[in-house]
Amino acid sequence: MHDEIRQVISEHARLPVDVQTLSDDADLYEAGMTSHASVNVMLGLEDRFDIEFPDRMLKRSVFESIGSIAAALSELRTEAAV
């Protein structure tokens, strides 16, 4: 999952650094991701994983790192499986 997330970030976050150099807990906003770019990341994740982020997850902390995105996706998959 983390590799797919990195791919989406690489395509949509417009980061000035190579996403492969970032750790899972690196702050993507500090790395240069703008608020508008985070929208593109969200849309890219929704397309890639065929999910829709609910309103409660539309907050900065969900999209601030690869790890936080992975946690949110895992939560959504768990909910979908129930």
Partner 1 sequence: MPLRVGTDLVLIETVRESIDAHAEHYLERVYTEREVADCRTSDGIDPERLAARFAAKEATLKVLRPREEGIPWNAIEVRRDPSGWVELALSGPAASLAADAGVTDLSLSISHEGQFATAVVIASCSQGMPQPVR
Binding site for partner 1 (CB under 8 A): 12, 14, 34-37, 39-40, 42-44, 46-47, 54-62
Q: Could you tell me the smallest distance in angstroms from the CB atom of residue 3 to partner 1? A: 21
Q: Could you tell me the smallest distance in angstroms from the CB atom of residue 12 to partner 1? A: 7
Q: How would DSSP label each residue in 8-35?
A: HHHHHS--SS-GGGS-TT--TTTTT--H
Q: Could you tell me the smallest distance in angstroms from the CB atom of residue 57 to partner 1? A: 6
Choose among 60, 65, 12: nearest CA to 35.
60
